[in-house]
């Protein structure tokens, strides 16, 4: 890939990551925020792939899209009943 | 402090912090102009010295193995702390599964989710196992392989087979597996000391120089990665088990407001 | 158009967003989620610092010989970081569960009044 195209790809993904972080913080409902976090994890792992870090991609994809939403949703289910 | 005052104080502080951070960040050598001598030095010599073609795993388990032992024990401590915090308090008793769930306490999901989870549990386990045992060759390693392996166990729960989940992950076996993984990692280091080498030195035979990346090459890296994978998988299965058990407990005697 | 400081500025932006979310949240679980966002800013920063323009990923199973690679050390740090963060999040979530059980609410401003 030409350097210009790589730059454009990385810039686009960085903008998506910044937008994703803003979105996660601004969502109101708890369960929807967990789903937004899961989507943010996937976008973040694509960023790590675009900067030539496949190991970190694998880690972030598995943790951010599976384990963290699992833990958080189970916790939310347990404390359901307030607010 | 009212919430409005707190938000204003935070915005002032955050503005200062962000200005300082931007000033710090613009003093860096720019994205893509990494000058450091450590990284290129390692990539030049890693394959020759350790016979491992996955340089990141070689760093994790050999060059900076001591840091990884520390991180491993953070993991063990966090899970142990979780087990302690979520212990059964005085007066809590297990209540039968709520009306909207399956008998036995499984989640009430659609058939599609159950079938998909059941179909994917096996391949996920195989993929996790492959990742955990091939650290020296590819972008794999004990940490991500272990988490994927734990995911396979959770998929069994999601597919409605709660009894099967309880049977394949009894607490005693999972705790023993986690201890085995973490303790095994430390024991590999201690074995090196016993043999007269520095802690965590690579003392197993390195395999023939013409086949880097094979499973038996690279000495202790493959072994440590496998142990880390077992420990991490057991840790996350324990986490999932603790949280799933919590759903069935109800509080009977604790008084809110007392410490 | 070169991207000289853009990734680092994005990391600072993510940090600021996460901090704002933590301060203005009325719920322990929202605070945990915003803490995860703050931690992700450090991963972006780490991996961004190690990038070398034109470098390849540091794996030599199909490419022989020395090549200009991106820095593998920061990748090793980021990768163990991600997994350990998940375990620490689990511990924090268990604190939230116990706080709810004992005090009946998850609002950090209510919880600040309980002593002991």
pLDDT tens track for C49-58: 888 887 888 8
Find chain A residues with C-beta within 8 A of C94's C-beta: 75
pLDDT of A82 reads 45
B33 - beta bridge partners?
A: C52
Taking Cα atoms as reference points, which of B161, B147, B150 lies closest to residue B113? B161
A33-45: average pLDDT: 94
pLDDT of C13 reads 94
Joined together, the tokens standing for residue B51 give 């016979």
Query: What CATH number is given to the structural domain containing C42?
Result: 1.10.287.3510
Contact B86 C94 (CB under 8 A): yes
Question: CA-to-CA distance for A63 and B239, rounded, in angstroms?
Answer: 13
Closest chain A residue to the Cα of B149, Cα to Cα: A62
Taking Cα atoms as reference points, which of A82, A67, A16, A21 lies closest to residue A46? A16
Q: Please, where are the H alpha helices in B88-170?
A: 111-133, 142-158, 162-168
**CA count, 13 A, side-chain hemisphere, B155:** 19
- Residues of chain C short of pLDDT 50, as ranges, are 1
Tens of pLDDT, residue by residue, chain B (259 residues):
677 888 888 899 999 999 999 999 888 887 877 877 888 888 888 777 777 778 888 888 888 888 888 888 899 899 889 888 887 665 555 555 444 445 555 556 678 888 888 888 889 999 988 888 887 777 778 888 999 999 988 888 777 766 677 777 777 888 888 888 888 888 887 777 777 777 776 767 666 555 555 556 667 788 888 888 899 999 998 888 888 776 655 443 333 433 3
Q: Which of C3, C14, C18, C107 to mutate to test the interface with A (most CBs of A within 10 A)?
A: C14
- Name the domain count of chain C: 1
Task: Please check whether residue C108 touches A, CB under 8 A.
Answer: no
Residue C66 lies in a domain: yes
Contact B82 C52 (CB under 8 A): no
pLDDT of B90 reads 57
Tell me the pLDDT tens digit for each residue of A11-37: 999 999 999 999 999 998 889 999 999
**What's the CA dihedral at C18, C19, C21, C22 to 10 degrees?**
120
Q: Is B32 helix (H, G, I), strand (E, B) or coil?
A: strand
C69 - beta bridge partners?
A: C56
pLDDT of B225 reads 86
Q: Is A58 helix (H, G, I), strand (E, B) or coil?
A: helix
Joined together, the tokens standing for residue B33 give 């102009």
CA distance C63 to chain B (A): 10
Residue C51 lies in a domain: yes
pLDDT of B60 reads 84
pLDDT of B255 reads 36
Question: CA-to-CA distance for A19 and B16, rounded, in angstroms?
Answer: 23
φ, ψ of residue B205 to 5 degrees: the values are: -65, 145
Counting every residue written for chain B, the total comes to 259
pLDDT of B92 reads 59
Contact B139 A58 (CB under 8 A): yes
pLDDT of B184 reads 83
Which residues lie closer than 8 Å to C39 by C-beta, 6 or more apart?
A: C81, C85
Task: Please check whether residue C21 touches A, CB under 8 A.
Answer: yes
Task: Please check whether residue B10 touches C, CB under 8 A.
Answer: yes
Q: What is the DSSP string of C81-92?
A: HHHHHHHHHHHH
Residue C86 lies in a domain: yes
CA distance C66 to chain A (A): 16
Q: Please, where are the H alpha helices in A1-83?
A: 3-26, 30-50, 54-62, 68-78
Find chain A residues with C-beta within 8 A of B131's C-beta: 58
Q: Which of B74, B77, B78, B87 to mutate to test the interface with C (most CBs of C within 10 A)?
A: B78
Burial B125-162 (b: 16+ CB within 10 A, else e): bebbbebbbbbbbbbbbbbbbbbbbbbbbbbbbbbbbb
CB distance B128 to B149 below 8 Å: yes
Residue C116 lies in a domain: no
CA distance A38 to chain C (A): 11
Range of the domain at C42: 6-111
Question: CA-to-CA distance for B104 and B94, rounded, in angstroms?
Answer: 12
């Amino acid at each position: 890939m030409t350097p210009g195209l790589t730059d454009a790809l990385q810039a686009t993904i960085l903008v998506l990551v910044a937008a994703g972080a803003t979105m996660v913080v601004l969502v109101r409902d708890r369960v929807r925020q967990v789903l937004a976090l899961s989507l943010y994890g996937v976008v973040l792992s694509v960023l790590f792939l675009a900067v030539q870090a496949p190991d970190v991609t694998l880690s972030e994809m598995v943790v951010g899209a599976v384990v963290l939403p699992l833990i958080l949703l189970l916790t939310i289910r347990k404390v359901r009943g307030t607010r | 402090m009212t919430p409005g005052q707190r938000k204003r104080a935070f915005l002032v502080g955050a503005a200062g912090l962000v200005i300082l951070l931007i000033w710090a960040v613009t003093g860096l050598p720019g994205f893509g102009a990494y000058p450091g001598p450590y990284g290129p030095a390692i990539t030049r010599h890693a394959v020759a010295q350790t016979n491992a073609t996955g340089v990141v795993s070689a760093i994790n388990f050999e060059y900076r193995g001591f840091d990884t032992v520390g991180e491993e024990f953070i993991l063990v401590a966090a899970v142990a702390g979780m087990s302690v915090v979520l212990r059964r308090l005085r007066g809590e008793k297990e209540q039968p599964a709520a009306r909207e769930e399956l008998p036995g306490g499984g989640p009430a999901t659609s058939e599609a989710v159950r079938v998909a989870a059941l179909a994917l549990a096996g391949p996920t386990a195989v993929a996790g196992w492959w990742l955990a045992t091939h650290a020296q060759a590819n972008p794999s390693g004990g940490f991500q392989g272990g988490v994927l392996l734990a995911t396979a166990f959770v998929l069994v729960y999601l597919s409605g087979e709660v009894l099967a989940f309880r049977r394949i992950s009894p607490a005693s076996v999972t705790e023993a597996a986690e201890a085995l993984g973490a303790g095994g990692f430390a024991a590999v280091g201690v074995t090196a000391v016993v043999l007269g080498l520095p802690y965590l030195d690579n003392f197993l035979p390195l395999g023939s120089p013409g086949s880097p990346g094979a499973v038996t090459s690279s000495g202790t890296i493959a072994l440590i990665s496998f142990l880390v994978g077992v420990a991490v998988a057991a840790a996350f299965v324990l986490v999932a088990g603790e949280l799933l058990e919590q759903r069935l407990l109800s509080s009977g005697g604790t008084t809110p407001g007392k410490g | 158009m070169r991207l000289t400081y853009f990734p680092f500025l994005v990391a600072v932006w993510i940090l600021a967003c996460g901090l704002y979310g933590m301060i203005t949240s009325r719920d322990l679980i929202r605070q945990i989620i915003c803490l995860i966002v703050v931690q992700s800013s450090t991963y972006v920063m780490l991996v961004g610092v190690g990038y070398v323009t034109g470098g390849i990923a540091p794996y030599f199973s199909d490419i022989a010989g020395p090549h200009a690679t991106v820095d593998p050390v920061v990748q090793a740090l980021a990768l163990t970081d991600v997994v350990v963060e998940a375990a620490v999040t689990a511990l924090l979530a268990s604190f939230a569960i116990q706080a709810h059980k004992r005090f009946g609410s998850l609002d950090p401003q209510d919880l600040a009044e309980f002593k002991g």
